[in-house]
Amino acid sequence: EDKVVQSPLSLVVHEGDTVTLNCSYEVTNFRSLLWYKQEKKAPTFLFMLTSSGIEKKSGRLSSILDKKELSSILNITATQTGDSAIYLCAVKLNAGNNRKLIWGLGTSLAVNP
């Protein structure tokens, strides 16, 4: 059965800290891995990773995929209270599986002032 596991499930940090969120996967038909941020409503897209070892960066957020280890990390540096959210990782399957997304449970991040 295809699955995506995120860790930790929840995390509480202080403003200015750096956090690393983990996502590991076991799927039969990997195409890409995606990271989303969910606040009160629907998830918003952060990154899509398809190649191993190539870091994607957006401001204080960065992410990298390791296909050998079947995992990805999402880094947030100099955290701010606005970073508080649930961070979701999803793996996109190949076309034979309708390219559907397999979702992890998410990491709930709380950044305290």
Which range in 16-24, 53-61, 66-74, 104-112 contacts another protein by CB under 8 A?
104-112
Told to check if 100 binds another protein by CB under 8 A, we report yes
Asked if 31 touches another protein (CB under 8 A), the answer is yes
CA distance 47 to 28: 22
Closer Cβ to another protein, 73 or 102, answer by number: 102
Mind giving me the DSSP string for 29-79? SEEEEEEEEESSSS-EEEEEE-STT--EEETTEEEEEETTTTEEEEEE-S-
Binding status of residue 48 toward another protein by CB under 8 A: yes
**Smallest gap, in angstroms, from Cβ of residue 78 to another protein?**
25
Per rule CB under 8 A, is residue 105 in the interface with another protein? yes
